[in-house]
Structure 1
Amino acid sequence: MSDDRALEELARSSDRLREEPLTSEPVFRGKLLDVRRDTVRLPGGATATREYIMHPGASMIVPLLPDGQVVLVRQYRYPMHRAFIEFPAGKIDPGEAPLATAQRELLEETGYRASKWTELTTIHNAIAYANERIVLFLAEGLERGEQKLDEHEFLEVFTAPLEDLMTWIRQGEVTDVKTVIGAFFVSSSTR
Structure 2
Amino acid sequence: MVNVKLFEETLNEEKIYQGKFINLVKQKVKLPDGKESTREIVRHPGAVAILAFIDEDTIIMVEQFRKPLDRILLEIPAGKLEKGEDIEKCGRRELEEETGYIAKDFTYLGKIATTPGFTDEYIYFYKAEDLHKGKIGGDEDEFINVKKISLNKVKEMIKSGEIIDGKTLAVFMLM
* TM-score under structure 1 length normalisation: 0.88
The question of whether the paired residues in 2 share the 8 Å contact of 1:92 and 1:101 is answered with yes
Q: Could you list the runs of 5+ residues in structure 1 that have no partner in the other structure? A: 1-12, 187-191
* Residue 172 (structure 1) aligned with residue 158 (structure 2): no
Distance 1:144 1:15, change over 3 A: farther
Distance 1:14 1:111, change over 3 A: farther
Distance 2:149 2:29 in 1: 47
What amino acid is the match of 1:171?
S
Find the counterpart in structure 1 of residue 118 from structure 2: 129
Q: Give the structure with the higher percent strand.
A: 2
Q: Is the 8 A contact 1:165 1:183 kept in 2?
A: no
Q: Counterpart in 2 of 1:71?
A: 60
Partner in structure 2 of residue 44 of structure 1? 33
1:119-158 Cα shifts (integer Å, max 9, x gaps): 0011011000000000000000011233112212101001
Which one-letter code corresponds to 1:41 in the other structure? K
Aligned equivalent of 1:160, options 122, 146, 149: 149
1:23 corresponds in structure 2 to 12
Offset of residue 14 of structure 1: 8.6
**Which residue of 2 is the match for residue 32 of structure 1?**
21
SS at match of 2:55: coil
Q: Partner residue of 2:133?
A: 144
Q: Identify which of 83, 107, 123 aligns with 1:118.
A: 107
Shift of 1:65: 1.7
Identical aligned pairs, as a percentage? 35
Q: Which amino acid aligns with 1:61?
A: I
In the aligned structure 2, how far is the partner of 1:142 from the partner of 1:35? 38
Quote the offset at 1:15 in angstroms: 8.8
Cα deviation, residue 73, structure 1: 0.2
Which residue is equivalent to 1:98? 87
Q: 1:166 touches 1:184 (CA, 8 Å); kept in 2?
A: no
Which SS does the other structure have where 2:164 is aligned?
coil
Structure 1 Cα separation of the partners of residues 102 and 3 of structure 2: 42
Aligned counterpart in structure 1 of residue 74 of structure 2, from 85, 95, 104: 85
Paired AA for residue 8 in structure 2: E
Question: Over aligned residues, Cα RMSD in angstroms?
Answer: 1.5
Structure 1 segment 49-60 matched on structure 2, within 5 A: 49-60=38-49
Distance (Å, rounded) in 1 between the aligned partners of 2:35 and 2:173:
41
Aligned match of 1:182 in 155, 171, 175? 171
